[in-house]
Amino acid sequence: MPHYKKLIGKLCYLSPRDPDDFKKLAEWLNDVETSMNMSIRIAPNEIEQKGVVEGWLKAGDHGFAIVDLATDKHIGDCGLHQIDWVNRTAAFGIIIGEKEYWGKGYGTEATRLIMDYGFNILNLESVRLQVKEFNKRGVRAYEKAGFKTIGIQRKETFFGRKALDVVNMDILAEEFESPYVRGVMDKVLNGAV
Ligand SMILES: CC(C)(COP(=O)(O)OP(=O)(O)OC[C@H]1O[C@@H](n2cnc3c(N)ncnc32)[C@H](O)[C@@H]1OP(=O)(O)O)[C@@H](O)C(=O)NCCC(=O)NCCS
């Protein structure tokens, strides 16, 4: 099944998920080196057996496959969760599952693209995230995407017999510069499309 170029960056694009994407997601989430960074640390196969993804969909989350622009390879997944339509807030999560893509700017760009969707299409005002303090790559990627640290929760997560700190970060719509949606909108309003 194809992916669709919904939000387009220079390295990657965000596409609606294809049903096959969930198998990849299960593979990535069962890789401890990857999933130890995440709040979701599921047991083998649980993603399919217990319908984790169906749960996200039922909860009204907005999620995307992250696809490499040059090769159309599916490399990750990201989503806006716990969307509060009254207060216009949401929580953000991301995984670049194909590890050879780590540290090459894909996570930063995918984060900016889904924030563009959240702020300029869903009309959210604020998005928050939690990242484990040891996940320096994640913290740096979120900072580059525009998130600010708002506090540290001490010993908030327990893994490998260790209690570890978690960094809370957020970003506001007014601080965010649209990488894609505003450009499309300007073209349409100027009659160029
Ligand atoms: C976290 C994640 C989304 C980041 O995406 P990415 O594509 O790897 O990150 P980017 O390349 O966009 O940015 C990484 C930045 O961290 C820096 N970095 C990497 N390792 C670092 C370290 N140990 N200390 C400090 N900075 C580090 C990189 O140099 C880069 O910054 P720079 O461009 O200023 O040099 C991705 O690595 C991932 O999915 N990891 C596994 C799952 C995960 O952690 N999910 C998020 C849970 S909150």
Distance CA 23, CA 111 (A): 22
Q: What is the pLDDT of residue 171?
A: 98
CA of residue 107 to ligand 1 center, whole Å: 7
Is residue 136 in contact with ligand 1, taking CB distance under 6 Å?
yes
**pTM beyond 0.85, yes or no:** yes
Q: What are the start-end ranges of the E strands in 28-113?
A: 62-68, 74-84, 89-96
Distance CA 112, CA 118 (A): 10
Is residue 96 in contact with ligand 1, taking CB distance under 6 Å?
yes
Predicted confidence (pLDDT) per residue in 3-46, tens digit: 999 999 999 999 999 888 888 888 898 899 999 998 876 666 66
Is residue 99 in contact with ligand 1, taking CB distance under 6 Å?
no
Q: What is the dihedral of CA 193, 10, 19, 51, to 10 degrees?
A: -120
Domain boundaries, the chain: 7-189
Backbone angles phi, psi at 70, to 5 degrees: -70, -35
Amino acid at 41: R
Catalytic residue list: 142
Predicted confidence (pLDDT) per residue in 140-193, tens digit: 999 999 999 999 999 999 988 999 999 999 999 999 999 999 999 999 999 988
Q: CATH number of the domain at 7-189, please?
A: 3.40.630.30
Q: Which of 75, 69, 68 is nearest to 25 (CA)?
A: 75
Distance CA 154, CA 98 (A): 30
Residue 10: both structure tokens together: 């220079």
Q: Quote the distance between the C-alpha of residue 146 and its chain's center.
A: 14
